Amino acid sequence: MKIVVAIKQVPARDSLLKVDKSGTWIEDADLSWEINEPDAYALEAGLQLRESAGGEVVVLCAGPDRATQTIREALAKGADRAIHIEMSHGASDPLALARTMAKALETEKPDVVLTGLQSDDLGYGQTGVVLAEVMGYPHATLVMSVETVSGGIRVKRELEDGWFQHVEMPLPALLTIQSGAAKLRYATLMGIKKAKSKEIRRVEAETASAAPSVRLERIYLPQKTKRSQIFEGTPQETARQLVEKLRFEARVI
Amino acid sequence: MTGVLAVLEQFEGKLHGMSYEALAAAQQIGAELGQPVYAAVAGAGLQQVAAAVAAYRLDKVHVVEHGLLADYTADAYTAALKQLIELHRPAYVIFPHTYQVRDFAPALAASLGRVLVSDVIAHRVENGALTLVRQLFQGKMNADVRFEGDGPHFASVQAGAFRSENAIKAESGGSATEVVTPVLEASRIRTKPLERFRESQRAVDLTAAERIVSVGRGIREVGNIALIEQLAEAMGAELAASRPICDNGWLPMERQVGSSGQTVAPKLYVAVGISGAIQHLVGMKGSKTIVAINKDPEAPIFEAADYGIVGDLFQVVPALIEALKK
Ligand SMILES: Cc1cc2nc3c(=O)[nH]c(=O)nc-3n(C[C@H](O)[C@H](O)[C@H](O)COP(=O)(O)OP(=O)(O)OC[C@H]3O[C@@H](n4cnc5c(N)ncnc54)[C@H](O)[C@@H]3O)c2cc1C
Ligand SMILES: Nc1ncnc2c1ncn2[C@@H]1O[C@H](COP(=O)(O)O)[C@@H](O)[C@H]1O
């Protein structure tokens, strides 16, 4: 079974963000980076699928040079090889990105494509579904687990309000993976060593599509609208003030 | 190409709560753009839902009926709504940003060569042009987005961004409905949905708690959760958590608050080391008094909080436990 896992490199979770001069992206020179959280779970699902069904796991990542680091980490965890679509930073639209990704996968003909549910930076929650549409694959979103059954796969989907649902579909198929589905593995020393010699195929991204249907005008820090009472000072002072407010103003303790 | 079409979600003959928000959004945007407003609802056996939708002020309600729409599948919904949109050519198509919409709307837009603007929190109309606001970086940044070229333009609206009580009812008689039967083939529906089910019964009922202390990833390690337990005890509160804490198995799933956990509305909700992502906020923003403890002054949770302490929880929480004893 050939399994492709789309992974994205995003700013580390606690990054302090500033808008850059273009006004449409963040200053990203000094940030640290990590794999998008749901993508780590997608990778884990891919590796487990390979363990049960055999085959190979190919990671697919679109991003600038620095993304190589995240790709190497995925290889160290056990992915067999990688495809790196070389692309500058910033906001691409999910349709343009999916078309580029589909092009890079043309010769691969994967049986299963896994993506994360949503990226922590752009947060479209769309790239997987759009990629399925572009590739002509059936898909399921918010997937918690995957098993092979005769004629294809059966997945467990998360629904709203604590409900779940099993869905069956033939292969090839695309799944978007929800966080928390499995325990993530760590890279072993051996894995890290091996990763250095694994293949990373680099492909150039096409130039942006001629007529995008949406345009990002600017990004900015959200304006505060609610007047919260914020306490500052030593921990003891702030704690004392808060307890007083909760007791005598809000009267909730 | 004209009009604003709200695509509503129903399940077993009942409208999804966020459908009313999408209705309100379409009515508001339609009024500001000076365009007619339509609604569509897809499924099988929709008489009752159709009547419920027609109670709102709409230029037309499209009732998309087909046996193959009885159980939701992305393939059937995409095909059916694509046909409706190609036939009626609305300029704008608005969805509630539900799990189901996440599952098919991006494909529907892509099948028409368009990009869905997902999870919209606000809008404005200037000189007849619509600007949408969406969040980036888990709510730490906002972005203004505009459509380019010809419609149909697609957008989904975030839970709570538009208020369902603002949806305007129809005057007497209700709005006109029209049943449409899409052309669907069973062989084109590639996924097979099986039974819906719930995991184990919930042993903890957070919805009954008067006070909740909730812990997020700022706690760093499972061993530190004991500290938050002490705080909860000192406040006479139940312990709850954000999703990553439950994902890691540090607390059981049944203590998760948010869109995929429980929705709570206690007298007091204390969020410790929680950033305030929308999927968490929807589960607790109905709380009467909200307290946030976070080291990042820009964390979106402060926007929801009545009281906040900016600081390191490992210093603030012990001090708080002390202060509560006095
Ligand atoms: C479809 C879907 C459904 C989801 N459902 C849910 C759900 O039901 N519930 C839910 O909670 N999430 C849900 N999520 C996940 C959600 O998007 C966020 O990822 C999650 O809520 C983040 O949890 P967090 O705030 O604990 O962690 P983070 O976002 O990592 O925030 C940690 C916070 O701790 C602060 N911090 C760090 N160290 C300290 C310190 N020493 N002192 C004080 N503060 C500190 C940081 O400043 C940061 O603000 C869902 C996501 C999706 C896509
Ligand atoms: N630049 C990228 N490179 C690789 N995968 C990506 C990229 N952008 C998005 N994805 C995948 O698509 C998923 C959803 O992203 P998004 O639609 O931006 O929320 C992510 O979790 C990734 O698996």
- Please answer yes or no on whether A214 and B139 come within 8 Å at the CB atom: no
Amino acid type, B283:
G
B34 burial via Cβ count (<10 Å: 0-12, 13-18, 19+): exposed
**In whole angstroms, how far apart are CA A23 and each of A12, A221, B141, B249?**
21, 11, 12, 40
Residue A175 lies in a domain: yes
State the CATH number of the domain containing residue A206.
Answer: 3.40.50.620
What whole-number distance in Å separates Cα of residue A90 and Cα of residue A110?
A: 27
CA–chain centroid gap for A30, Å, is 21
pLDDT digits (tens, 9 = 90+) for B199-220: 866 778 899 999 999 999 999 9
Is the per-residue pLDDT at A57 higher than 70? yes
Q: Are strands A112-116 and B211-215 parallel, antiparallel or unpaired?
A: unpaired
Cβ contact B197–A164 (<8 Å): yes
Range list for CATH 3.40.50.620 in chain B: 4-194
Spatial separation of the C-alpha atoms in residues B171 and B185, rounded to whole Å: 39
For chain A, what's the residue count?
A: 253
Query: How high is the mean pLDDT of chain A?
Result: 94
Query: Which superfamily does CATH assign the domain made up of B4-194 to?
Result: HUPs (3.40.50.620)
CA distance B279 to B262: 11
Which of chain B's residues have a Cβ under 8 Å away from the Cβ of A146?
Answer: none
Chain B residue with the nearest C-alpha to that of A154: B192
Asked whether the beta carbons of A115 and A177 are under 8 A apart, the reply is yes
Each residue's pLDDT tens digit, B254-308: 999 999 899 999 999 999 999 999 999 999 999 999 999 999 998 999 999 999 9
Q: Is a pLDDT exceeding 80 seen at residue A226? A: no
Nearest ligand 1 atom to the CA of B260 is 8
pLDDT at position A232 is 87
Residue A25 carries which DSSP code? S
Span from the CA of B180 to the centroid of ligand 1 (angstroms): 43
CA of A79 to the centre of ligand 1 (A): 28
Burial class (CB in 10 A: 0-12, 13-18, 19+), B312: middle
Compare all CA atoms of chain B with the CA of A160 and give the residue at the minimum distance. Answer: B260
From-to residues of CATH 3.40.50.1220 in chain B: 202-325
pLDDT of residue A62: 96
Percent of chain B with pLDDT over 90: 94
Separation between Cα atoms, residue A100 and residue A96, nearest integer Å: 6
Q: Looking at residue B231, what is its pLDDT?
A: 98
Assess whether pLDDT exceeds 70 at residue A118: yes
A19 lies in a domain? yes
A251 φ/ψ sector (left φ>0, alpha ψ -120 to 50, else beta): left
Alpha-carbon gap, residue B135 to A123, rounded angstroms: 8
> Do the Cβ atoms of A162 and B261 come within 8 Å?
yes
User: Is it the case that residue A209 has pLDDT exceeding 70?
Assistant: no
Q: Which residues in chain B (20-49) have CB-CB distances under 8 A to chain A?
A: none
- Model pLDDT, residue A208: 60
Q: Is A45 part of any domain?
A: yes
Tally of domains in chain A? 1
Mean pLDDT of A103-123: 97
- The closest alpha carbon to A3, from A133, A129, A153, belongs to A153
Amino acid at B24: A
Best of A17, A135, A159, A244 to disrupt the B interface by mutation (most B CBs within 10 Å)? A159
Q: How confident is the model at residue A210 (pLDDT cuts 50, 70, 90)?
A: low
Please determine, looking at this structure, whether the domain spanning B202-325 carries the CATH number 2.40.50.140.
Answer: no
Report, as an integer, the average pLDDT of B110-136.
96
In a domain, A219, yes or no: no
pLDDT at A205: 85
Residue A30 lies in a domain: yes
Query: For residue B28, how far is the Cα from the chain centroid?
Result: 18
Q: Please answer yes or no on whether B300 and A228 come within 8 Å at the CB atom.
A: no
Q: What is the pTM of this model?
A: 0.96
Residue in B192, B297, B307 closest to A245 by CB:
B307
Give, in order, the Cα–Cα distances in Å from A128 to each of A198, B45, B120.
25, 31, 19
Residues of the domain holding A106:
2-210
CA separation for the pair B164, A39 (Å, rounded): 34
Instruction: Confirm whether A109 is domain-assigned.
Output: yes
Side-chain half-sphere exposure of A100, counting CA atoms within 13 A: 25
- pLDDT at A211 > cutoff 80: no
Burial class of residue B145, CB neighbours in 10 A (0-12, 13-18, 19+): buried
A13 in a structural domain: yes
**Is the confidence at residue B116, as pLDDT, over 70?**
yes
B260-266: long-range pairs with CB below 8 Å, 24+: B260/A158, B260/A160, B260/A162, B261/A162, B262/A162, B262/B202, B262/B206, B262/B207, B263/B207, B264/B206, B264/B207, B264/B209, B264/B212, B264/B240, B265/B207, B266/B209, B266/B210, B266/B211, B266/B212, B266/B237
Query: SS3 of B148, please?
Result: coil
Beta-carbon contacts of residue B230 (< 8 Å; ≥ 6 apart) = B317, B321
Residue A252 lies in a domain: no
